């Protein structure tokens, strides 16, 4: 598949994502950025100028008054990406959507439509919904247990791929001489009767130039990793340092190869990272420290600390008493892997609640902070060490992102690790992923 290339995604956080409660005070950011299509267009075009592989839209559907600003008031990802598709021409458009609270036919149709509108640039970040409270917005008393969540996700993605293959690529004859519009033998009914879903099909939509939207996955439990390794083509994850990045990378690629018989190069691992570019390394570290202090006060951090635990209210505990490990039960149907890790770390270190919250604030220090040359060095170091295949870079302060595009990207290009220009029109091409052959065409050709 040619020489290995670094992949870059931009994750726009509008008025401020997790831990960024005052990002919106930046005078360059409109107060309504997270619902302002002009702002998203400007940022997507900037990322496209930097030849980024993709724009990555995270999502959630449950809020409290203490949710980060971007989460309080934000555009629905597929609607947003459809608008971006008309204002960009090359950059991939990846949207997060849950398999827990969407009906497959509808969601698969919407992603298929985005793929056609964007001419083959769509991607779907498959999540099972971390925020347990979302269940209440869909008529359920509680979120599904993990087996159900991941069972649905697995069946959902397999079903999606089958639906996207409803039409073979030459099904529409559109012969003006004979008047034949469709070759009906190339339209396929699915008749899916699974554990969680029953869908007859066919989908009323052809495939795009890239065949299917690219499947991303985010979820870190054993079941989450199996989902990513079996159906994921891109993996959105967190990695605080090279050794933990390498361990995750190795685990996902090994599962993909050994457990699911896949080519590990077709699973692109892209952790979300924070980058700060300064004139010098010291300058950048000062900017980072000032941002962290201002954006994530202890009070805001204490509130947000409850998110993996189903937005459990930690203000009810004595800050200086031992960490309340009993709170873990509230995370069982939420971001449980993360809640368990936080609880374990507190126990291992004998922390109080205050120390655990302070640690999450300190944990926010990024390795990718420095002059443009330092940041480029770090990106290459991680990538060469196979701690990842690329990065989903948080798009926070526009001035900082411009420096990434104008100063860091050219260094990566000079070193030959990142494209000087797009050489594909679709997202699969950017990521080095094959275009899947329609299963019915393949079966026809096979025999
Ligand atoms: C890096 C990462 C990003 C995620 N992004 C989202 C998201 O944007 N929206 C969402 O509802 N859930 C998101 N999730 C939640 C997962 O889909 C999953 O429900 C949650 O992490 C619990 O599963 P796990 O224990 O397998 O990680 C994300 C999880 C991870 C690890």
Q: 335 CB less than 6 Å from ligand 1?
A: yes
pLDDT computed for residue 94 by the predictor: 99
Closest alpha carbon to 60 in 30, 92, 101, 24: 101
Q: How far away, in angstroms, is 61 Cα from ligand 1 center? A: 13
Same domain, 262 and 308: no
Rounded CA-CA distance 21/317 in Å is 23
Q: How do residues 62-98 score in pLDDT, each as one tens digit? A: 999 999 999 999 999 999 999 999 999 999 999 999 9
> Are the C-beta atoms of residues 258 and 241 closer than 8 Å to each other?
no
Rounded CA-CA distance 229/21 in Å is 34
Domain count, the chain: 2
What is the predicted ipTM? 0.98
Same domain, 170 and 237: yes
Same domain, 313 and 375: no
Residue 59 annotated as part of some ligand binding site? yes
Residue 163: inside a domain, yes or no? Answer: yes
Phi, psi torsion values for 151, nearest 5 degrees: -65, -45
Residue 434, classed as helix, strand or coil, is coil
Q: 337 CB less than 6 Å from ligand 1?
A: yes
Residue 434: inside a domain, yes or no? Answer: yes
End-to-end alpha carbon distance in the chain: 28
Rounded CA-CA distance 353/343 in Å is 10
Same domain, 268 and 319: no
Residue 1 pLDDT exceeds 60: no
Q: 406 CB less than 6 Å from ligand 1?
A: no
Residue 289: inside a domain, yes or no? Answer: no
Of all atoms in ligand 1, which is nearest to the CA of residue 334?
22
% of the chain surpassing 70 pLDDT: 99
Q: Whose CA is nearest to atom 21 of ligand 1?
A: 219
Give the domain-ending residue among 313, 332, 362.
362
Same domain, 275 and 130: yes
Choose one of 130, 223, 394 to mutate for the ligand 1 pocket test, by most ligand atoms within 8 angstroms of C-beta.
Answer: 130
Same domain, 375 and 358: no
Q: 375 CB less than 6 Å from ligand 1?
A: no
Closest alpha carbon to 315 in 361, 348, 357: 357
> Are the C-beta atoms of residues 421 and 51 closer than 8 Å to each other?
yes
Q: 220 CB less than 6 Å from ligand 1?
A: yes
Same domain, 81 and 103: yes
Residue 335: inside a domain, yes or no? Answer: yes
Same domain, 266 and 326: no
> Are the C-beta atoms of residues 232 and 199 closer than 8 Å to each other?
no
Rounded CA-CA distance 237/244 in Å is 11
Give the domain-ending residue among 317, 338, 362.
362
* Tally of CB atoms within 10 A around 315: 12
Rounded CA-CA distance 52/7 in Å is 7
Residue 1: inside a domain, yes or no? Answer: no
Give the domain-ending residue among 336, 362, 388.
362
Question: Which pair of structure tokens corresponds to residue 67?
Answer: 């949710």
Per-residue pLDDT, averaged over 398-424, amounts to: 98
Same domain, 129 and 234: yes
Q: Whose CA is nearest to atom 16 of ligand 1?
A: 219
pLDDT computed for residue 364 by the predictor: 72
Residue 254: inside a domain, yes or no? Answer: yes
Q: How do residues 279-321 score in pLDDT, each as one tens digit? A: 999 999 999 999 988 888 899 999 999 999 999 999 999 999 9
Q: Which helix (H) or strand (E) holds 123?
A: strand 122-127
Q: 151 CB less than 6 Å from ligand 1?
A: no
Same domain, 319 and 442: no
Of all atoms in ligand 1, which is nearest to the CA of residue 130?
19
Domain span holding position 313: 297-362
Residue 291: inside a domain, yes or no? Answer: no
**What does R_g of the chain's alpha carbons equal in angstroms?**
22
């Amino acid at each position: 598949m040619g020489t290995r290339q670094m992949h870059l995604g931009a994750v726009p956080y509008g008025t401020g994502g997790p831990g960024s409660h005052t990002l919106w005070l930046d005078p360059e950011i409109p107060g309504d950025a997270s619902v302002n299509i002009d702002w998203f267009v400007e940022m997507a075009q900037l990322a496209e100028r930097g030849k980024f592989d993709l724009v990555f839209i995270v999502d959630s559907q449950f809020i409290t008054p203490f949710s980060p600003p971007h989460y309080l008031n934000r555009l629905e990802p597929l609607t947003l990406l459809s608008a971006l598709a008309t204002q960009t021409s090359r950059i991939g458009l990846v949207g997060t959507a849950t398999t827990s609270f969407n009906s497959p036919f509808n969601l698969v149709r919407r992603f298929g439509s985005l793929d056609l509108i964007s001419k083959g640039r769509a991607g779907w970040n498959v999540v099972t919904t971390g925020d347990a409270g979302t269940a209440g917005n869909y008529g359920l008393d509680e979120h599904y247990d993990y087996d159900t969540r991941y069972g649905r996700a697995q069946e959902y993605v397999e079903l999606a791929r089958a639906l996207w293959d409803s039409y073979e690529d030459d099904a529409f004859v559109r012969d003006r001489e004979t008047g034949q519009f469709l070759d009906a033998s190339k339209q396929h009914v699915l008749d899916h009767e699974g554990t969680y879903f029953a869908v007859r099909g066919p989908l009323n939509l052809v495939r795009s130039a890239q065949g299917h939207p690219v499947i991303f996955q985010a979820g870190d439990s054993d079941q989450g990793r199996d989902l990513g390794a079996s159906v994921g083509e891109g993996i959105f994850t967190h990695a605080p340092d090279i050794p933990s990045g390498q361990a995750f990378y190795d685990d996902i690629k090994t599962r993909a190869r050994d457990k699911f018989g896949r080519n590990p190069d077709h699973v692109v691992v892209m952790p979300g990272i924070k980058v700060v570019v300064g004139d010098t390394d010291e300058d950048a570290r000062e900017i980072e420290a000032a941002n962290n202090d201002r954006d994530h006060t202890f009070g805001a951090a204490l509130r947000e600390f409850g998110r993996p635990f189903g937005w459990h209210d930690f203000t009810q505990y004595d800050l200086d008493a031992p960490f309340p490990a009993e709170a873990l039960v509230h995370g069982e149907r939420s971001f449980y892997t993360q809640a368990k890790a936080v609880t374990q770390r507190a126990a291992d270190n004998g922390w109080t609640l205050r120390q655990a919250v302070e640690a999450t604030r300190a944990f926010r220090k990024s390795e990718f902070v420095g002059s443009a040359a330092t940041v480029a060095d770090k990106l290459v170091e991680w990538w060469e060490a196979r701690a990842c295949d690329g990065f989903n870079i948080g798009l926070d302060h526009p001035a900082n992102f411009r420096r990434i595009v104008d100063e860091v990207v050219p260094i990566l290009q000079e070193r030959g690790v990142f494209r000087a220009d797009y050489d594909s029109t679709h997202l699969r091409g950017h990521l080095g992923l094959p275009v899947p052959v329609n299963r019915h065409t393949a079966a026809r050709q096979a025999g």
